[in-house]
Structure 1
Amino acid sequence: MDGSDAGSAGSAGPAEVEPMPGYLQLMSRGSGVLLAAWRDCSSCGLQRSRTTFLDHAYFTWTEMALFVFCAFLWTMVRRGLTQSLFKPLAQWCKLLPKDAAKMPESSWKLVFYTMSWSYSTYLLFFTSYPFFHDPPSVFYNWKSGMTVPTDIALAYLIQGSFYGHSIYATINMDAWRKDSAVMVVHHIITLALIGFSYAFRYHNVGILVLFLHDINDILLEFTKLNVYLKSRGGGYHLLNDVLSNMGSVSFSISWFWFRLYWFPLKVLYATCVSSLQSVPNIPFYFFFNTLLFALLLMNIYWFLFIVIFVVKVLKVKEVNDVREYEDEDGSRAAAELLGNSRAPKHDDDAGHHNAAHGKHVQNGVTKEKHL
């Protein structure tokens, strides 16, 4: 059921900015509105969903072709930067083999997320869009098939194509971690939200969602890069150690503030409550809110990793990604790939043979890694 007929009485939007609700107001009023919308949705079902999709989804073949092309382009750009910049930089810095193997991935993500978050910050704070300070305004004057402003359409193309690339990259390019399967699900849900929110012209709230999530990825990759750099050249570098600790603290705080405080109180309240006030029969009400709540649950899931991470730092005074598998074979493979003669020596059994030939074990399955 999609809640295509979900609705309640309302107007195009209040004249003044609504104050941001609290958690209690979100849970009480949000649940009440959801239950009322569910009871009122007498004709919800697959047939109604199909009709609503055909009536309200606007997506051209040109836009789909641009998405595919840009997703492929991100993969090629990443490959080029990895081979021409990130790997040579890792060699020049004389990183430890295990760190040199992971540095290109973090460098690439830091470059992209810094760019994408800077652009969404520009849209929300340096233009006339009021979405951050007045989240209910994302649905004011909404019309089916309305024109998407060019600056927002560009943000959607950048982000949508990147997450299309990221589904492939998580499986075939990135190091496999304990949460990689969840990460693939996250990318699929994010891509669905980006694609359908664009098609249904919910692009205003989409920009707000992207802004609230990308900042954490910047801080995460910044922290990891400084962890790799603090032991470069066989020595200890205090500045990078201090920066990694500052980054880990900032990452933990920003995750809670952006994803567990602002995201539910600004975005979910707007999509659950304010949307029906502005557009009583808003299409696919339940579908989009289900995806957004799934995104919130994954944010909570990853916050548990952060708690473990903080406890680990307090106990052992060491910053490491707790999602990583303990894998010495990966170090040996990376060392041989970089031509490092200091690679640790192991017996040449089957598992080490796979690592030495650039293969990676994912959930017990030997898998080739590609760029």
Structure 2
Amino acid sequence: MIMAWFIAKPCALGLKVQANGPQKAQPNAILEKVFTAITKHPDEKRLEGLSKQLDWDVRSIQRWFRQRRNQEKPSTLRKFCESMWRFTFYLYIFTYGVRFLKKTPWLWNTRQCWSGYPYQPLMPDLHYYYIVELSFYWSLMFSQFIDVKRKDFGIMFTHHIVTVTLITFSYVTNLTRVGTLILCLHDAADIVLEAAKMANYCKCQKLSDLLFLTFAVVFIVSRLGIYPLWILNTTLFELYEALGNFPALWVFNVLLMVLQILHCFWSYLIIKAAYKAISKGKVAKDARSDVESSSDEEETVPRSKAPHSAVATNGTSGANGTNGYLTGATSSEEH
């Protein structure tokens, strides 16, 4: 967080990233009481009741609630700082992982992952690599509860649980050699994703689109190609051939298969976004968006039932941006 605010914030301001958050809803005591004490998503019956009580049309009240919900979302500046912090971490840890793995025999021959198992020494560099990665994913899992709750909260929470469990389980059972391969492989795509999000927040549309498409290629190749052919091949077949059957093998492989199912789900979402980018010339809005919008918000001033009750409740355009697979320019999210 120190890096986010003392380094990333000046960078964001220098790049003219918007410091303001979504447009604020007009103060209204009645609607605020409903929003805070009853519901943030009023149903049709309640909307009609509020419409009669305030002498506003239903569309204006819907827009007020939409803006009030968006008001609680983080600003573009804050999202840029978070992306810059993650980009810095992923770039550092990926570089560290590549430099470490280049010196190891199991990078070039995965059968070396099982040579001498379980009596394999835990090297200081490997220990450091594991502890830093585990700490980071613990922080992601807990921060989900204080960040904006997005549509794929359950999927992301499952992913973080599986990741933390995998790292911890592989460390405890000394399956750390193949674990380093998995960690390094997963960090590659996240660097490009965070760079694409930063470009999006800076309103560099073409750069953001290019980075997102690059991310899509790296993600799909690494998660649907290299991961099953390289990682699952050695854990499902080479491990069994070298050491035979033992309980940890099955637990480890079940967790790896759950991870692969999540890879398939996110790849589907990414392919959809990439297809729209190619067919329409830009990446479509991500389904994980943390800012609500509506075609209704194209109107600059909503109409009310009486002149004295007119309210300026514009939409939330200009507050685009998400912590998922990108909004506006480019979000399931991290691996």
Question: What TM-score do the two structures reach when normalised by structure 2?
Answer: 0.67
Report the AA paired with residue 111 of structure 1.
Answer: T
Alpha-carbon distance between aligned partners in 2 of 1:323 and 1:317, rounded to the nearest angstrom: 20
Residues 164 and 191 of structure 1 are in contact (CA less than 8 Å); yes or no, is this contact kept in structure 2?
yes
Structure 2 partner of 1:87? 9
Structure 2 partner of 1:216? 189
Question: Deviations 1:164-185 (Å, cap 9, x if unpaired)?
Answer: 1111122213x43322321111
Alpha-carbon distance between aligned partners in 2 of 1:192 and 1:204, rounded to the nearest angstrom: 16
Query: Structure 2 vs 1, CA of residues 222 and 251 (structure 1 numbering), >3 Å: closer, same or farther?
Result: same
Residues 86 and 107 of structure 1 are in contact (CA less than 8 Å); yes or no, is this contact kept in structure 2?
yes
Query: Are 1:171 and 2:145 an aligned pair?
Result: yes
Query: Are 1:191 and 2:155 an aligned pair?
Result: no
Report the AA paired with residue 142 of structure 1.
Answer: Y
* Equivalent residue for 1:133, pick from 85, 108, 112: 108
DSSP-derived class of the 2:145 partner: helix
Query: Structure 2 vs 1, CA of residues 317 and 100 (structure 1 numbering), >3 Å: closer, same or farther?
Result: farther
Report the AA paired with residue 170 of structure 1.
Answer: Q
Question: Deviations 1:310-339 (Å, cap 9, x if unpaired)?
Answer: 12212432335442144269xxxxxxxxxx
Query: Are 1:110 and 2:87 an aligned pair?
Result: yes
RCO (CA 8 Å, sep 6+): is it higher in 1 or 2? 1
Residues 305 and 323 of structure 1 are in contact (CA less than 8 Å); yes or no, is this contact kept in structure 2?
no
* Equivalent residue for 2:292, pick from 311, 323, 327: 327
Alpha-carbon distance between aligned partners in 2 of 1:168 and 1:259, rounded to the nearest angstrom: 25
* Equivalent residue for 2:134, pick from 143, 147, 160: 160
Structure 2 partner of 1:247? 211
Alpha-carbon distance between aligned partners in 2 of 1:247 and 1:347, rounded to the nearest angstrom: 34
Structure 1 partner of 2:251? 287
DSSP-derived class of the 1:95 partner: coil
Q: How far is the alpha carbon of 1:346 from its aligned partner?
A: 5.2
Alpha-carbon distance between aligned partners in 2 of 1:155 and 1:188, rounded to the nearest angstrom: 19
Query: Structure 2 vs 1, CA of residues 84 and 328 (structure 1 numbering), >3 Å: closer, same or farther?
Result: farther
Report the AA paired with residue 109 of structure 2.
Answer: D
Following superposition of structure 1 onto structure 2, how do residues 1-371 of structure 1 map, counting pairs within 5 Å?
A: 78=1, 80-96=2-18, 97=20, 99-125=76-102, 127=103, 129-143=104-118, 146-173=120-147, 175-230=148-203, 240-319=204-283, 320-327=285-292, 347=313
Alpha-carbon distance between aligned partners in 1 of 2:7 and 2:313, rounded to the nearest angstrom: 33
Alpha-carbon distance between aligned partners in 1 of 2:155 and 2:86, rounded to the nearest angstrom: 18
| Aligned length in residues | 244
DSSP-derived class of the 1:172 partner: coil
DSSP-derived class of the 2:163 partner: helix
Residues 224 and 244 of structure 1 are in contact (CA less than 8 Å); yes or no, is this contact kept in structure 2?
yes
Alpha-carbon distance between aligned partners in 1 of 2:195 and 2:249, rounded to the nearest angstrom: 37
Percent identical across equivalent pairs?
A: 28
Q: How far is the alpha carbon of 1:90 from its aligned partner?
A: 2.6
Residues 114 and 218 of structure 1 are in contact (CA less than 8 Å); yes or no, is this contact kept in structure 2?
yes
Alpha-carbon distance between aligned partners in 2 of 1:273 and 1:195, rounded to the nearest angstrom: 22
Query: Structure 2 vs 1, CA of residues 283 and 122 (structure 1 numbering), >3 Å: closer, same or farther?
Result: farther
Q: How far is the alpha carbon of 1:271 from its aligned partner?
A: 0.7
Alpha-carbon distance between aligned partners in 1 of 2:258 and 2:228, rounded to the nearest angstrom: 12
Q: Which moved more, 1:82-91 or 1:245-254?
A: 82-91
Report the AA paired with residue 141 of structure 1.
Answer: G
Query: Structure 2 vs 1, CA of residues 268 and 346 (structure 1 numbering), >3 Å: closer, same or farther?
Result: farther
Question: What TM-score do the two structures reach when normalised by structure 1?
Answer: 0.61
Residues 95 and 228 of structure 1 are in contact (CA less than 8 Å); yes or no, is this contact kept in structure 2?
yes
Q: How far is the alpha carbon of 1:122 from its aligned partner?
A: 0.9
Question: Deviations 1:111-167 (Å, cap 9, x if unpaired)?
Answer: 111111111111222x1x1223222221111125x4311111110011011111111
Alpha-carbon distance between aligned partners in 2 of 1:117 and 1:301, rounded to the nearest angstrom: 24
Question: Deviations 1:179-203 (Å, cap 9, x if unpaired)?
Answer: 2321111111111111110110000
Structure 2 partner of 1:4? none
Q: Which moved more, 1:317-326 or 1:258-267?
A: 317-326
Q: CA RMSD in A?
A: 2.4
DSSP-derived class of the 1:155 partner: helix
Q: Which moved more, 1:186-195 or 1:132-141?
A: 132-141
DSSP-derived class of the 1:171 partner: coil
Structure 1 partner of 2:54? none
DSSP-derived class of the 1:284 partner: helix
Report the AA paired with residue 171 of structure 1.
Answer: F
Question: Deviations 1:62-119 (Å, cap 9, x if unpaired)?
Answer: xxxxxxxxxxxxxxxx2x2233232343333322345324212211110111111111
Alpha-carbon distance between aligned partners in 1 of 2:312 and 2:138, rounded to the nearest angstrom: 38
Report the AA paired with residue 306 of structure 1.
Answer: I
